[in-house]
Every structure is written in structure tokens, then in C-alpha cells.
Structure 1
Amino acid sequence: MDPKRELTSVDLAALVGELGTYEGAKVDKAYLYGDDLVRLKMRDFDRGRVELLLEVGEVKRAHTVTPERVPDAPGRPPQFAMMLRNRLSGADFAGVSQYEFDRILEFVFERDDGTTRIIVELFGQGNVAVTDGEYEVIDCLETVRLKSRTVVPGSRYEFPDTRTNPLTIDREAFEREMETSDTDVVRTLATQLNFGGLYGEEVCTRAGVEKAMDIADVDDGVYDRLYGAIERLALDVRNRNFEPRLYFERPDEEGSAADGGTEDAPDSSSARVLDVTPFPLEERGELAAEAYDSFLAALDDYFVRLELDEESEPDPTDQRPDFEEEIAKYERIIEQQRGAIEGFEREAESMRENAELLYARYGLVDDVLSTIQDARERDRSWEEIEERFEEGRDRGIEAAEAVVGIDAGEGIVTVELDDERIDLLAHDGLEQNADRLYTEAKRIEEKKEGALAAIEDTRENLEEVERRRERWEADDGDGDDPDEADPDDDDRDWLADPSIPIRENEPWFDRFRWFHTSDGYLVIGGRNADQNEELVKKYLEPGDTVLHTQAHGGPVTVLKATDPSEASSSDIELPESSVEEAAQFAVSYSSVWKDGRYAGDVYAVDSEQVTKTPESGEYLEKGGFAIRGDRTYYDDTPVGVAVGIQCEPYTRVIGGPPSAIEEQAAATIELEPGRYAQADAAKRLYRRFRERFEDETFVRKIASPDRIQHFMPPGGSRIAEE
């Protein structure tokens, strides 16, 4: 039996009551760990410090933890955490609720300047969305663009479709839901009633009903017993009649407690945890159990022990993963996504063709709509209008013959033009109906864009599995003798290291764009006009080389001959390889990348040729400079950026031209101009880095999505094909 890693809908229904007791607590600070764990530090008037964890990754949970168990704060708060601090600092916790019976919690915080809602999605990929009081999304950990719903900054938050809530359903509705099923009782409870597998089985057991009984064989007496068990469960949740249990593996020896109690239970301190529930479950009767005073305390202990259990599990590296099954799975998904894309294309094209058809048959369509609108203005009923069209058809009037249906309730008339049936809003004119079709086609095209992004994700997952298979097969057959391995750190396998020591260093140039060339020279560039100004005025020294793109909107790029702490010298001859890398850096972080182009022209000059003094009659904008003398041009310089994680001599994210970064980092990912916004692309890189490193906590500490974004070019990006 695998341990529980996600809270159920019943768990959340129980959890809401206990979390509600903290209403009135004030928020002190917010933290984000990696891209899936949010921590809110609060102060309660009666109980003091309160720590709330919201995790939406592979583990999905929401509960308070004891202060001594909170993880160390990240060194640099990412943008999402700073946004939370700005909105929540000093705010009052006003309450928490569960959306319908879904695995969604909504936390509400009040401050004099407004309301903030944190919506935590504990299903699927998981998400945390921060909205204002009117549900407009301020920011979210994951953007969602699906056919059924959208969650993106700037839009109104959309909840998933409503699900049946079995804890509030009445007897008649319960029976109707059950009778729509064509399977057995337990599967119907799990799916139609949304109980899930465990609680579907628990309801059957408590009601004394055979789980495998076919719905067709169920009578009123069985329904009464099942509904009675559900009512008792719902009553326990509403009245907070909890007896929380933490379940763990039962030792082999006989004589341990079997009734879910703890009186004769063996020592559980070293046993593997399997589940945590708000009350004892008969379905867990075969497991050893430990009772708790509160569900929050039980959750705190459970997830701490779950993490310890997983850290202590041996890594089965001698067993070959089933790469072929993974590859086949992703290939099936890609095929399905291609089908969806083709469907979107056909649907959008059909909408556009229908709009064009309306204009092509302008006179006929206008006659139909004008006839209906005139009749409605004279208070004619829809029945009378239908009769008039029937009379027109009998007389052979073309406009009447085109009308094939009228929906009086919706005010829609359906016309058939060239064998195509088109629904028209009768109260609108032809142009408005055509615009509606064009708008719908555009909306469907946007769905197609979302599907294209999804298929790109799947392709990258497929390629990663194929690379892992290649690495496995190469490692399996290389015949190397581990005793002959070089013990020096230069040959250390950082990716396989289970515990990488953190060696932080924040250099003076970290707030600029920067990288070190393959020859070890520092290159720095401005992020904005103010930094461009500062670089020229404060950090430009004799011997430095200045580079800039011909295109407008590029950074001032300085290839440093010496460090500012060293004596400057104009005698240093910078290697051409370093100048070329600096040129690629200059073009990659300019408007060339933002415009989606793959190359641009760059020029280089000596530092003495750069001046902030304009010629008579000229004017220099902030960040601008004048050049005196000849320039060296690097035409058609290709863009190119790699982001990497460096482990030696310091542990940090670095970024710049691939030829430089790949030599200095333990792992790199190369980028090219693409469709993904900077923040979304940074999250994708973060997930890829976590997959590559054995020590995921190391990646979380030093390479958050915000830190990765610090080294990415402006504009859209995508991971380059390998």
C-alpha cells in the first residue's frame, strides 16, 4: 500500500473547521519554496505564532505546522513571495472555505486597503492563485488555459465545474445520482458521488452493503442504508466530531491493536506512515493506528514522517526503469493532443467560413433578421413569427426557405446557407452576428495555442525520457572501474550527489546582467536606462570594450579588462573569443530576442571612444552615449543563451552565451526565442533542473524560478531542441 500524498475532499471538509479557529490571526510574512510550497507566518492573539503550509506539488496538502518544523527561509524571496508580502503583511485571516466538494480551499484575508483571496488547488497539477476581492487574478504559480477554464494574471479566476457534494445531498437527489450509473455500488459512490475510492469503500462498509453489488440490483432498503451512512459521516464533519488517526504499517508480530485505537498499539516511531484521517476508518482496520487530539496535529506529524520515510528509502538504482512504457505513454498523449489541435483548426475555420458566408448572402440574411426584429417590435409572438416563415416557404420566398429553426427561449434563428447551418442571434444585426463568429473563431484559435504549448511540454517530457534511457544504457555498459575514479572535485558528479553543500556568494555585479567568458573575463550589461547610465559613468575603465547592438533597445555591454578593485590598464589585449561571446550576449539580451529574431548586428569600441558629452546641438537620452571614432562590427551575430546551475566554486544560477556557460555549470539548458512568457519559461527550466539533480532541495534553495528568470532574455523563450 502506497502512502497518501494528497488530501481527499473529505479531509478538506474536516480541515476547514479546524483552520477556521484561527480567524483573526494577523499575517507577518509570506515565503515561497521552489515553485510549489507557500508558507504563511501569522500571529494568533491566544496561541501565538502560527505557521501555515500550502503545498501543491507531488505532495498536496494544507495545514498548520509547529514552528520548529518550518523549513529554513529561502535566501532570496522570489517575486511571488514579495507580492504576497505586499498584499498580506498586517492583514487579518478572515476565514477559509472549501469550494463545493472539490479539492479547492479558499483563504480570505482582510486589510484596510482591500481583500485578498488565496485559492489553493489540491488536485491535478496543483496551483495557488492570488486574487483580489472580486476574484481578479493577481498572480498564480501555474497559468491554466483549458477549454473549460482559465487562470491567468489579469483574468477573473474560474473555478472548475460544480461537482455533486455528497455531504449536503438530499435523499431523492442521492438516489437519482446513483441510478444514473451502470456499474457497481462502490464505483458509483467513488465517481458519481465524488467520494473517491477510500471513502466510497468506507460508506459501503459502514452501511453493510456489498461493494460489488450492481446498481441494477439495489433496492430502496440498500439506498436507505447507504444514505444513512453518508448522513452520519456528514454530521461528524459538520459538528467537528473528529477522532483523528495516523495509520502506519503494522509490524509482523501478533497482538497489536486492530481496532484503530492506541491502547495496545506497538511503538510507531519507526514504522512507515500510510494514511491520516479525521476519524477512524473501518477500511483501515488492518493497519496500526495512533490517535490525535486534532486533525491539524495529525497532518503535521504525518507529512513530516512521510518526508523522513521517503528520504530513508533505498534508491533502486540496480533496477532498469521502464523507459519504453513512459515513451509509449507520451507518444499516446502527443497523438491525442494533435487530434485536439486539428479539431480546433477545423472548428475555427468553420466559424470564419460561416461569418464570410453571412456577408456573401447579405441580402437574404438581412431579410430574415429584419423580418424577426420588425415583428418583435410590433409585439408579435414567436409562434406568429414561425407561422409567417412557414407561409413564406409555401410561397417559395427564398429568405423564408433559408430558416430551418427558431429557438424562442434563446432568441436564436437557424438559417441554412449553401448546406451550412448557422445560428444567429435574432436581436442582433448581420454585422454583429458575423463579428460574434469571428470572435468565436479567435477564441478557438487561442485554445489551439494552449494545446500547442501543451504538446510542446509533452514533447520535452518525451525527449527527457529518451535522454534518461540513453544515459542509463551508456552508464550500464561503460565498464568503468569505480576505484579508478578521480577524487578531485573537478570530476565530481554533481547531478548524482545526494547532498550538495551551499556556497553562496553575491558579487557586486549581481544586480546587472552578467557572465564570465570562456577566458574568465567579466561581462556586465544594463537591465534598464538607469543601469546603462551607471555602467558608463561608474564602471567603465581604460582597457574595457563596450558593445552595443545596432537595433534599438539593447543593453550597454561592457567586457571588463580588470575588476573595479584592481588597477585599470589599457595594455590588456582581450581575446577575440571573449569579444565574440560578449557580442552574442549583447544581441541576445536586446530587442532582437524580444522580436523573435535569431541574429542581429553588434559593434564594439574601446572605452576611450565612449562619452556622455554630446556634440553641439545633440541630445542624449538617459542611458545613451556618444561614440567617437571607428567601430568594429560583428554582423549577423546569432542569439544564444544558456541558463545553468554552478556548483563550484560557488553554488548559484548563471546565464549567458552557451559556449561560456556550459564550461562553468554542472547542468545547463539552452534557450531560443519562443512563445512562453519569461515567468512561465523560468518555471519550466526550474522543473527540468529539479529532474536532473538528485539533490532537489539544493535546486529549490539556489535556483528558484525567479532567480532563473534573472538570467533570461526579455520577451518570449522556449527550451532549444537538443
Structure 2
Amino acid sequence: MKKQLSSLDLHFLVKELKDLENSRIDKIYQPEKNVIIFSLYKSNVGKKILKIDVGKSMFIADEKEEGETLGFGMFLRKHLDGYFLSRISQVEPERILKFSFKVKNNIKDFYIEFFGKGNAILCYDDIILNALDHHEFRDRTIKPKIKYKFPLMKHNYFQLSTNELKELLKNSKKNSIVTSLAIELGFGGIYSEEICLISDVDKGTDPKKLSDEEIGSISDNIKKIINKEIKPSVIYKDGDIADFAAFDLKFYSKNEKKEFKSFSEALSFFYSQFVEVKETEFDKRLRGLQRIIESQKKTIEEFRSKEKESREKGELIYHKYNTIKEILDELTNASKKYSWKEIKSKLKGHKVIKEVNDKDRKVVVEV
């Protein structure tokens, strides 16, 4: 399963989400640590729910999730209440989206990072106001009052010329063109496979050994892919959901597909198939109470069993009282003359007394 949106996925998603621009923030929710939901309202359009699963996915949802709003969500409410979403853009070619919120002359930028474990950062004039997660990396720090810096790849495939691509490949540190495209240009696995396929280039070819003609073909097809018409679908493999795509992929030409009207709908459907059922606080308390009740039931059954056994023993002792009393009297008198070890020896083979424990001074009788 594809777990995170790629740079190219975000490129096509931003095109669709442009319709949300100029919407007013109605409410902000954070039902889970990594889930941030914007309820947006736009005249003549109505309300739209934008669900962001930080570091993983983003799409227009049918409805907001129920639950409490956590601390970072409350912080966003405080700082963005009454603001309008003025612009959505991608920090190309990174897996970072930038949401610019504006009210009068005040602009605050909200960055969503989809690489690694992901992060969400609110800035004012490029200074971090707060972030979902605070970090200190070797080359950047994500903490309040620090200037926000995002990592940038050396090459931006959205603006890459054929000559620049040629230079990159001739100096590539990878041993195959598909790996070079996936890692050094940031296309990811499937889109790199697609570029090789439609460029008629063996994906295992050493990038340094590509001909000028092959490099030209790759360059042309990178541009074509970037400008593809959105035709979203979810891809199946052996009957199971395997992937999603913003446009038709030759790589999946033989696979079964389910088409959608929008890329956002495809993403919503795809990720809904892998939703982890989360246990609420009520469910946890209920499970704890059920465990206590089961334990109490077991204890009650054990007591009932012991009670029945003890009652039967008591009734037997009552009916055989005279016999038992005689045995006890005889043992008491014998213990005045003999040791319990001697008593045990003398009673071996006795018809009623079946066992003597000389250490604990106990006997087992059969009546």
C-alpha cells in the first residue's frame, strides 16, 4: 500500500484544491494527533471539509470526524479564527504544501510536510509560531520563534531543462536510471517506472551510459507527466486495492481500476480502506469494566463450587458424626502413648483410616 503522497501527487492535488481558495475558516478540529481538519465556507459553494493526515494524506472529506480537539488544534483556532484561505501552493519539488491564510493585511502561512513522519507548522512572516512536533535537525530547527527553513532538493524537476537533466544523470551516484529518477529527482518508485516505460528506456540502465536521445526522451516525458490531464483512479491487484493515481499510468495498464470524478475522491476512497479502528476512551473504560465483571463471575463460580463441596462435606460429617468422633477420640488417646510416626505404622492397612500425615498430624478417613 502507498502510505504517503508523493511530490507529483501533491502537484495534481493542489490543482484541484485551488477551488478552496477564498474560503473562510468555519472551524478547525484535531481529533487525533496527526489529523487536522479544516471546515471551510465559501459563498455560492457552501461548506467543504479538508482532512489532513499529517505526513500521509490529504483530501476533501464527506464529513468531519467526531472527537475532542487537541492542543495544537486549539492553537490553530486561536490564531486563524476569522481568516480566509487565500492561496494553496506546493513548495516545489518538495512534499510540502503551503496554505496562506489572510485577514485584512495579516498573512499567516501554514506548512504541511509529507515526508518522514510529517509535520504541520504555522508561521508569521516566516517565523514559526508553533508546530505539531518540535525538532532539532542537523540543518534546521522546528521550534517557535525560529525562522522556518524547509529542505530543498538540488534539482527541481518542475523546472528541469534537458541539459540540466543530462548533467545530473552523468554525475549520478545511482546504478540504475529508475533509482536515479526515484531518489535524486524525487519521483518515487511508480512514477519513475512510468517515465522509463513511456520513454522506452530500460529501467536498469546505468544513468551515466544513457544516450543523448534517451535522455531527451526522458526529459520530454517528465514534462508530459507534469502536465497530464487529471484522470484519477484506484488500482487493484489480484482483487485487492493496491495504489492510486492522478492520471492513467501505462505501468498499470493491465490492472483493474475504479475511476473517480476527482483525485480527492480517489484518495478519500483509498485511505478509507485502510482506516485503523481506534478505541475511544469510552471503549477502553467499557473493556476494563467487562474484564472486571468476567473476573468477578469466575470468582463467584469458584466460591459456589467450594460452597457446594463444603456443604456436602458438612452433611457427611453430620451423618457420620459418631463414627468420626470415635476415631478422633482413639487418635487423641493414642497420641498420649505413641508418637505420630508409631501411630502411622500401627494404622497401616486400617479399613477406615486411609492415610496418616505424621508431620502435620492429619488423617484421611473414608466413611
TM-score by length of 2: 0.74
> Could you tell me which amino acid in structure 2 is paired with residue 64 of structure 1?
I
1:71 matches 2:74: no
Give the alignment partner of residue 243 of structure 1, picking from 196, 217, 231. Answer: 231
Q: Which has the higher contact order (CA 8 A, sep 6+)?
A: 2
Give the alignment partner of residue 30 of structure 2, picking from 26, 29, 32. Answer: 32
1:299 matches 2:267: yes
CA RMSD of aligned residues (A): 2.3
Matches within 5 A, 1:187-586: 187-236=179-228, 241-251=229-239, 272-307=240-275, 502=282
Task: Tell me the distance in 2 between the aligned counterparts of 1:142 and 1:646.
Answer: 32
Gaps of 5+ in 2: 290-367
In structure 2, relative to structure 1, the CA distance for the partners of 1:178 and 1:73 (3 Å cut) is same
Task: Tell me the distance in 2 between the aligned counterparts of 1:299 and 1:34.
Answer: 19
Give the alignment partner of residue 156 of structure 2, picking from 145, 155, 165. Answer: 165
Q: Is the Cα contact below 8 Å between 1:29 and 1:88 reproduced in 2?
A: no
User: Match of 2:85, SS?
Assistant: strand
Q: Hey, what does 1:413 align to over in structure 2?
A: none
Task: Tell me the distance in 2 between the aligned counterparts of 1:63 and 1:177.
Answer: 34
Q: Hey, what does 2:168 align to over in structure 1?
A: 177
Task: Tell me the distance in 2 between the aligned counterparts of 1:187 and 1:228.
Answer: 19
Task: Tell me the distance in 1 between the aligned counterparts of 2:42 and 2:145.
Answer: 32
Q: Is the Cα contact below 8 Å between 1:164 and 1:194 reproduced in 2?
A: no
Q: Is the Cα contact below 8 Å between 2:41 and 2:47 reproduced in 1?
A: yes
User: Match of 1:194, SS?
Assistant: coil
What's the offset of the Cα at 1:26? 0.6
> Could you tell me which amino acid in structure 2 is paired with residue 17 of structure 1?
K
Task: Tell me the distance in 1 between the aligned counterparts of 2:28 and 2:53.
Answer: 13
Cα deviations by residue, 1:654-693 (Å, 9 ceiling, x for unpaired): xxxxxxxxxxxxxxxxxxxxxxxxxxxxxxxxxxxxxxxx
Give the alignment partner of residue 97 of structure 1, picking from 89, 102, 109. Answer: 89
User: Match of 2:97, SS?
Assistant: strand
Q: Is the Cα contact below 8 Å between 2:4 and 2:114 reproduced in 1?
A: yes
What's the offset of the Cα at 1:219? 0.9
Task: Tell me the distance in 2 between the aligned counterparts of 1:120 and 1:296.
Answer: 17
What is the percent sequence identity of the aligned residues?
25
Q: Hey, what does 1:156 align to over in structure 2?
A: 147
What's the offset of the Cα at 1:500? 6.0
Q: Is the Cα contact below 8 Å between 2:8 and 2:226 reproduced in 1?
A: no
Q: How many residues get paired?
A: 289
> Could you tell me which amino acid in structure 2 is paired with residue 294 of structure 1?
S
Task: Tell me the distance in 2 between the aligned counterparts of 1:91 and 1:501.
Answer: 33
User: Match of 2:65, SS?
Assistant: coil
What's the offset of the Cα at 1:21? 1.5
Task: Tell me the distance in 1 between the aligned counterparts of 2:67 and 2:87.
Answer: 26
Task: Tell me the distance in 2 between the aligned counterparts of 1:125 and 1:302.
Answer: 20
User: Match of 2:72, SS?
Assistant: helix
> Could you tell me which amino acid in structure 2 is paired with residue 6 of structure 1?
Q
Q: Is the Cα contact below 8 Å between 1:102 and 1:163 reproduced in 2?
A: no
1:55 matches 2:29: no
Task: Tell me the distance in 1 between the aligned counterparts of 2:51 and 2:109.
Answer: 16
What's the offset of the Cα at 1:100? 1.9
Task: Tell me the distance in 1 between the aligned counterparts of 2:273 and 2:45.
Answer: 24
Give the alignment partner of residue 117 of structure 2, picking from 114, 125, 141. Answer: 125
What's the offset of the Cα at 1:90? 2.0
**Structure 1 stretches of at least 4 aligned residues deviating more than 3 Å after TM superposition:** 498-501, 645-649
Q: Is the Cα contact below 8 Å between 1:100 and 1:165 reproduced in 2?
A: yes
What's the offset of the Cα at 1:285? 2.6
Task: Tell me the distance in 2 between the aligned counterparts of 1:232 and 1:164.
Answer: 18
Q: Hey, what does 1:41 align to over in structure 2?
A: 39
Q: Is the Cα contact below 8 Å between 2:171 and 2:208 reproduced in 1?
A: no
Task: Tell me the distance in 2 between the aligned counterparts of 1:500 and 1:80.
Answer: 20
Task: Tell me the distance in 2 between the aligned counterparts of 1:306 and 1:646.
Answer: 25
In structure 2, relative to structure 1, the CA distance for the partners of 1:500 and 1:96 (3 Å cut) is closer
User: Match of 1:158, SS?
Assistant: coil
What's the offset of the Cα at 1:647? 7.2
Task: Tell me the distance in 2 between the aligned counterparts of 1:500 and 1:200.
Answer: 41
> Could you tell me which amino acid in structure 2 is paired with residue 233 of structure 1?
I
Q: Which has the larger radius of gyration?
A: 2
Q: Is the Cα contact below 8 Å between 1:163 and 1:194 reproduced in 2?
A: no
What's the offset of the Cα at 1:214? 1.8
Q: Is the Cα contact below 8 Å between 2:234 and 2:243 reproduced in 1?
A: yes
In structure 2, relative to structure 1, the CA distance for the partners of 1:221 and 1:103 (3 Å cut) is same
Gaps of 5+ in 1: 252-271, 312-497, 505-644, 650-722
User: Match of 1:502, SS?
Assistant: helix
